[in-house]
Amino acid sequence: MMQERRNAILQELNEYGKVKVADLSKKLECSEVTIRNDIKSMDKEGLLKRTHGGAIRLDEKVQRKYSAESIYRNTEKKRQIAACAYAYIEDRDTIIIDDASSSFYLALYIKEHPEKRIAVVTNSLLVGNELAGVRHVELYLIGGHVGGHLAATMGESALQNMEQFHVDKGFIGVHSINFDVGLTSIETPQMQVKRAILKAASQVYVLADSSKFGGGYVSVICPVKQVYKIITDAQIGKEYVRKAEREQIPLVVASTKYEI
């Protein structure tokens, strides 16, 4: 029932661009409190933008192109992280961007900032779609079997293709970060790609919003100290910042440029 309401709210937003709590309450035959709670949750997930008395549709240039819901979760955090990550890229750098949703926002930021000329290698079809034809970007797309929630190349062909590249910097997302264990992943094909990026890049940056810290894990990509920087947003728990400081983990908090 809740998912049906959420789908109905998104459908209204796609059609009209904005919605009001009172109108949705009548149309969906439920209380205004229920609608407000739905909108509040969807705003936190980055599916819409909450306003006084209702909600508005997210930025159409992303909203209408792709169906993968993970792109629209925590969007402001991911934009913040992308802006911080871009500051570490130098003019004429060669970089690899993986198929994570956080990496996708870095690609959008690169697209919108022509002041640096960059060579970009990626296995992400979404990143490739955004950067193809962009004049300040020299784009290389990794070949291979296409799969995953966010369409990307993977498997043996992709790994062999990636071995041909050596770049200045790599930017990857992760399923979660456990300071005691390392960077973790669920899907084996994606994990193999991330390990290949670790070999191909002189410096690897992990782009991870604050929801990625802690929790359980299935597979470990590498220890946290094997990467150059971990970039996150200002809502990361203070206990993680303190632990990173104690253990000299290379954590960067995007909004404050807090760096260890």
The residues that bridge with 146 in the sheet, in sequence order, are 153
- Any idea what the Cα angle at residue 95 is, between residues 89 and 98, rounded to 5°? 115
- Neighbour tally for 6: CB within 10 Å: 17
Q: Distance (Å, rounded) from C-alpha 198 to C-alpha 201?
A: 6
Q: Which two tokens stand for residue 171?
A: 């930017």
Q: Distance (Å, rounded) from C-alpha 140 to C-alpha 132?
A: 9
Range of the domain at 46: 2-58
Residues 11 and 134 occupy one common structural domain: no
Q: Does residue 45 lie in a domain region?
A: yes
Q: Does residue 221 lie in a domain region?
A: yes
Residue 99 three-state SS: coil
Cα-based distances in Å from 181 to 51, 158, 191, 217, 223 = 40, 27, 15, 9, 6
**Counted domains in the chain:** 2
Share of the chain above pLDDT 70, in %: 92
Q: Does residue 141 lie in a domain region?
A: yes
Confidence at residue 134, expressed as pLDDT on a 0 to 100 scale: 94
CATH number where 26 lies: 1.10.10.10
Residues 159 and 201 occupy one common structural domain: yes
pLDDT in tens, 5-51: 988 998 888 778 889 999 999 999 999 999 999 999 888 777 888 88
Q: Does residue 63 lie in a domain region?
A: no
Q: State how far Cα 95 lies from the chain centre.
A: 16
Residues 83 and 191 occupy one common structural domain: yes
- Any idea what the Cα angle at residue 189 is, between residues 185 and 193, rounded to 5°? 80
Residues 143 and 18 occupy one common structural domain: no
Residues 27 and 84 occupy one common structural domain: no
pLDDT in tens, 132-182: 999 999 999 999 999 888 899 999 999 999 999 999 999 999 989 999 889
Q: Does residue 66 lie in a domain region?
A: no
Q: pLDDT at residue 61 above 50?
A: no
Question: What's this model's pTM, rounded to 2 decimal places?
Answer: 0.74
